[in-house]
Amino acid sequence: MIRFEKVAKRYPNGHIGLHELSVHVRRGEFLFVTGHSGAGKTTLLRLLLAMERPTSGKLLLAGQDLAKIRNSQIPFLRRQIGVVFQNHQLLFDRSVFDNVALPLHIMGLGQDEINARVSQALEHVSLKDKAMQAPADLSTGQQQRVGIARAIVHQPALLLADEPTGNLDPRLAAEIMAVFEDINRHGTTVMIASHDLALIARMRQRMLTLQRGRLIGDGESGL
Amino acid sequence: MSKRITPDQPGQRIGATERAKIDGPPVENTAVLAQLKAWMISHKFSCMDSLKRLLRQPFGSFFTCLVIAVALSLPMGLTLLLKNLNELGGTWQQAAQISVFLDLNAKPAEGQALQKRLLKHPSVAEVEWISREQALEDFQSFSGLGQALQDLPQNPLPSSLLVTPKQVDKAELNRLAADIQALPKVQQVQLDILWVERLVAILQLGERFIFALTVMLIAALLLVVGNTIRLHIENRRIEIEVIKLVGGTDSYVRRPFLYMGVLYGLGGGVLAWLMLLWGFSWLNESVVQLAELYGSDFSLAGVPIEDGFSLLFGALLLGYFAAWLAVAKHLRELLPS
């Protein structure tokens, strides 16, 4: 699914985001990327979203080399990926339903298809009854669930999450993680960047540990 | 607890509908039709969304349209006014008439033969022959010297031809005058070229003034619409970033703003048309009164329907172009962060 082959990312100011990272992620895997601030977690996610290109090395996503991808192909690549943000990035001028439907509108699906898929995604995050509410009327945990519903509504092959539990208390964080696990059980590859080691340890999933752009650990969490 | 499935079953992922799970890949024709339908749905969605956003801020949207309307109606109004004034003053061709005085001994048949010959000239629109008797009669009635002229032993006035050219062009008129001068029985050719030059200069000045005004106002209009669209882009920065991250193409991001520009242009165009209709109607009352004092039935023609539609189309294009420029400039700055 994902293959990093000696991928390096060096920024114009000299900062090294990633240092010759080599990792292979199989289809349907669930893994965490952890490390301190500046370790390279976000750089790794940005490279997978083609928001940045590797300085050197080869980054393959479903066989496509992201170092060489054409700009015009990037939107179509991103339609295969779901993204969950720490701060939800919800649009507060529209309803929960419209927020979740956004990727489907972009893909140009018909209204019936959109209604069915949004309904199913909201049901999966237990928010079907909140579809017509404004995101501002929801709790932080519920807002994060809306963000997750938006990330999965277009059936992505890969789900990326950047500190998805960063603003949540431990109980809500555990609930959100349970949602991610359920999504993974349905076949979606899930990659979560987080520095919440206690939470990661309880999950017993594969964990990549980064430090100053280098991979210093690759094994099951909690061991 | 959901049953775990193998990863190579993408149709089973969350959000997959029953139809998506059962159906195979669509045949090519169906895919093209579906894409076309999706494209149309997307356009409809963007257009309605832009309209709703403009209606949500009725005063702001109205004043932007008003600014566009003022910028468009000024040059358009002046152009139409100039067109009307042209009709008031008669045609430029008449102002540039050439008087051809024939020899005193030229017979009427010779004058009429010259008239026919000149009518065949490619630069000539009309030729009027004035006999010696007609010339004397006209002179007596206009000069107030009727009695004195009757005392003369013979008619001193020659027969003449009044030539109306097809075009008011200095070089062309000079060429035509030279051609006429070379004809037999022609004594003198009088072309009031100074008057023609003045008319042409006034016309050119008017046209240039309107052109410069149009260019300046279009530039101002592009800035106004562009700046308004820029503010809309700023207000929707997060939305644009999210759209880009979930797979929105640049054209998808650009679309609602282009519709917004078109709607602003359309609103401005309609307002400009209404302003011109009202302005010409208001001005016409005074013009009719003034014309009556000179014994004329002249009135302003108003805004012809084809000019009105040209105004609307131009406004729409300007709105679109201004929005395109604004979005092209700011879209690059809005990379997802």
Q: What is the pLDDT of residues A105-136, one digit of tens each?
A: 888 888 888 999 999 999 988 888 999 999 99
Average pLDDT score over residue span B31-54: 83
> How do the domains of chain B map onto residue ranges?
42-90+199-331, 97-191
Q: What is the mean pLDDT of residues B272-276?
A: 94
Query: How much is the pLDDT for B309?
Result: 93
Chain B residues within 8 A of A102 when measuring between CB atoms: 242-243, 246
Q: How is chain A split into domains, by residue range?
A: 28-44+73-220
SS3 (DSSP) at B122: coil
pLDDT, tens digit, for every residue of B77-113? Answer: 988 888 877 666 555 556 678 899 999 888 889 999 9
Q: Tens of pLDDT along B145-161?
A: 767 767 777 888 899 99
Backbone angles phi, psi at A51, to 5 degrees: -80, -25
Contact list, A186 vs chain B (CB under 8 Å): 2, 5, 12-14
Cα distances (Å, whole numbers) of residue A8 to A36, A54, A182, B211? 18, 6, 33, 57
Query: Per-residue pLDDT for B262 more than 90?
Result: yes
Q: Which amino acid is at B164?
A: T
pLDDT mean over A38-43:
87
Instruction: Indicate the fold that domain A28-44+73-220 takes in CATH.
Output: Rossmann fold (3.40.50)
CB atoms B2 and A75 under 8 Å: no
Q: What is the pLDDT of residue B65?
A: 93
B35 has a pLDDT exceeding 90? no
Percent of chain A surpassing pLDDT 70: 99
Of A27, A76, A91, the CB nearest to B242: A91
Chain B contacts of A150, Cβ < 8 Å?
246
B308 pLDDT above the threshold of 50: yes
Q: Do A108 and B39 touch (CB under 8 A)?
A: yes
**Within chain B, what is the greatest distance between any pair of CA atoms?**
130
DSSP secondary structure, B301-331, as one string: ----HHHHHHHHHHHHHHHHHHHHHHHHHHH
Please report which confidence band the pLDDT of residue B5 belongs to, taking 50, 70 and 90 as the band edges. Answer: very low
Over residues B240-267, mean pLDDT: 91
Which residues of chain A have a CB within 8 Å of the CB of B16? 117, 120, 155
With a cut of 50, say whether residue A213 has pLDDT above it: yes
- pLDDT at res. A40: 87
Please answer yes or no on whether B246 and A79 come within 8 Å at the CB atom.
yes
| B9-23, B70-84, B118-132, B285-299: least confident range | B9-23
- What integer is the mean pLDDT of B28-43? 74
Is pLDDT larger for residue A48 or for residue B290? A48
A and B: number of Cβ contacts within 8 A: 116
Higher pLDDT, B50 or B20: B50
- Confidence band (pLDDT; 50, 70, 90) for B136? confident
* pLDDT in the model for residue B88: 62
Rounded CA-CA distance B300/B284 in Å is 6
Residue A140, pLDDT above cutoff 60: yes
Which of B8, B14, B246 is facing A186, going by the closest CB pair? B14
Residue-level pLDDT at B26: 40
Residue to substitute from B22, B47, B241, B246, interface A, most A β-carbons within 10 A: B246
Nearest by CB to B247, which of A89, A106, A182? A106
| Residue B1 pLDDT | 38
Q: Which of B2, B10, B246 sits opposite A103 (nearest CB)?
A: B246
Fold adopted by B97-191: Alpha-Beta Plaits (3.30.70)
Measured between CA atoms, the residue of chain A closest to residue B336 is A51
Mean pLDDT of B55-70: 91
B162 within 8 A of B125, measured Cβ to Cβ: no
Cβ within 8 Å, pair A187-B2: no
Question: pLDDT value at position B328?
Answer: 86
Indicate yes or no: CB of A79 within 8 angstroms of CB of B15. Answer: no
**Confidence band of B315 (pLDDT split at 50, 70, 90):** very high
Q: In terms of Cα–Cα distance, which of B261, B194, A153 is closest to B269?
A: B261
**Percent of chain A, pLDDT > 90?**
35
**Taking residues A68-91, what's their average pLDDT?**
88
Highest-scoring range by mean pLDDT, B186-195, B219-228, B287-296:
B219-228
* Cα separation values, B288 from A212, B238, B294, Å: 85, 58, 10
